Amino acid sequence: MKNRNIEEKNMKNRLYHSVRHVNDDLRSLFLSADSHLTIDEERRRSALNVLRKEIEYKEVRLVVSRRRIWQNQLRYADRSMFIFHLTGCAFMLLLMVFMNMQNVDSAIMITSAMILAGILGSFSVLEVGRICFAKLAELSETCFFNVRQMAAFDMILSGIINLTALFAITLFAGHKWQIRLVQIGLYILVPFIFTQCACLGTLLTETGRRNAWLVAAIGVFLSVFYVILASMPRLYTESALFIWLIALLTGMVIFGIQIKTLFREIGKGEILCTN
């Protein structure tokens, strides 16, 4: 073993000296080839100053402020998805106004509000999953914003938009149909949360990340399920509010675990490898 170490050391020394000898030969060749050239010192200093200015101009400045990162994400975000999301929320609010003009009863209103909440929930997960659906997650990881930052940005932005729209629907429905805000809020938030749980759970699977239509199909299926749920009057009595509250808390816990799992998988690279 000792002799082997000595041989390896001698081999490294020989390799080092041979490389150094080659470098010295190349340096001497360049010097001899340039020996007949006259260098203008003034032009040399001028060119060096130009290079220094260009280097200073192209200096890479790392963005370490979270505020600056969020500002840049807002600046470079996909405007089409943002406008489409806002348009969908505006359409839902207009639909509630139209229902008001038609003087529909509270049962139809509750069913419609639950369906609209489910649609918003599925759309927000589709917006987050577009990184995977585009099959460019590996490329996205090498860009200015990594996949974790883009997913967090999409979740927060879509969450703000959705909760604002749902809050407006809750206020409007509660005022028009004389339903307590807590009651109508539970009827709207439970379908919203459970649709997000189902769609995000699908997105966490490899099949769900490869097929956008599967996440959309889950949202459509749950919308139909909410219509069936609305046909059970016992679930919409005040005595059943405790059940709705438990369902909301359970859905929030599940959704929080799924979000943690999503970011853990992104950090491990599992989601990138599937694309």
CA-CA distances (angstroms) from residue 53 to 11, 40, 41, 63, 137?
Answer: 45, 20, 18, 22, 36
195, burial (CB in 10 Å: exposed 0-12, middle 13-18, buried 19+): buried
Contact present, 196 and 119 (Cβ < 8 Å): no
Contact present, 77 and 153 (Cβ < 8 Å): yes
Q: Which residue has the higher pLDDT, 182 or 198?
A: 198
Report the phi/psi class of residue 58: left, alpha or beta, with left for phi > 0 and alpha for psi in -120 to 50.
Answer: alpha
Locate 80 and state its tokens: 């089409």
Q: The dihedral of CA 164, 165, 166, 168: what is its sign?
A: positive
Q: What is the pLDDT of residue 115?
A: 85
Give the CA count within 13 Å in the CB-facing half-sphere of 127: 29
Q: What is the pLDDT of residue 253?
A: 94
CA-CA distances (angstroms) from residue 110 to 7, 98, 117, 189, 218?
Answer: 84, 14, 10, 12, 21
pLDDT at 272 over 60: no
pLDDT, averaged across the chain: 77
Least confident of 52-61, 139-148, 166-175, 178-187: 139-148
pLDDT digits (tens, 9 = 90+) for 166-178: 888 888 877 776 7
Q: Which residue has the higher pLDDT, 56 or 201?
A: 201
Q: What is the pLDDT of residue 275?
A: 42
Q: What is the pLDDT of residue 274?
A: 44
Task: Report how far residue 215's alpha carbon sits from residue 234's, in angstroms, rounded to the nearest whole number.
Answer: 30
pLDDT digits (tens, 9 = 90+) for 216-254: 788 888 888 888 887 787 777 777 788 888 999 999 999
Task: Report how far residue 265's alpha carbon sits from residue 250's, in angstroms, rounded to the nearest whole number.
Answer: 23
